[in-house]
Amino acid sequence: MDFGLKEKRVLVVGASRNIGAAIAKCFSAEGCLVTVVARDREKLSRLVDEMGGTAVGHGFVIGDLLLPNEPTRIAGTILDKVGHCDIVVHNVGGGLGYKDPFGRIEDWESVWRFNVGIAIEMNKVLLPPMLDNCWGRVIHISSISAKVGEPLSQDGGAIAYYAAKA
């Protein structure tokens, strides 16, 4: 299928496996130049190779987005490598193992940062060039848990995750 995206520069954050890797492959199949970000160098390298490699314009950046200032650093590195992004897909998130609905505020903040804050921090760097180019798309991947969550069980549900995804 041709969506008219050939040669668009696409960034997929959280792309080392599952949905993120599938999204990257779909954009690559559309003829996009795809850059992927995650912590696992081996998985990202393999993914880039599966999409055709660096010779056709794909690439990857390794980093732990949970570290302070790392989203800003990674976004800057990406702009240095590719010039600008046309499409950004934020596919990073999770509950970080926190399930206590009465947990510490720091735990709730960590989950919010992982699911929302990282994207906001990266967007502050990535969106200005989109605005300069008068074209761009930003996609934030959520979860059905934002609407339905899991019923609370003895070990608790991941309430902070559900709230962050909503």
Ordered by start, the domain boundaries in the chain are 9-165
pLDDT at 126: 98
Question: Under CATH, what is the fold of the domain 9-165?
Answer: Rossmann fold (3.40.50)
Give 10-residue mean pLDDT values along the chain (166 residues).
91 96 98 97 98 97 96 98 97 92 93 97 98 97 83 65 90
Report the side by side order of strands in the sheet with 137-140.
Answer: 59-62, 33-38, 9-13, 87-90, 137-140
Radius of gyration, alpha carbons of the chain: 17
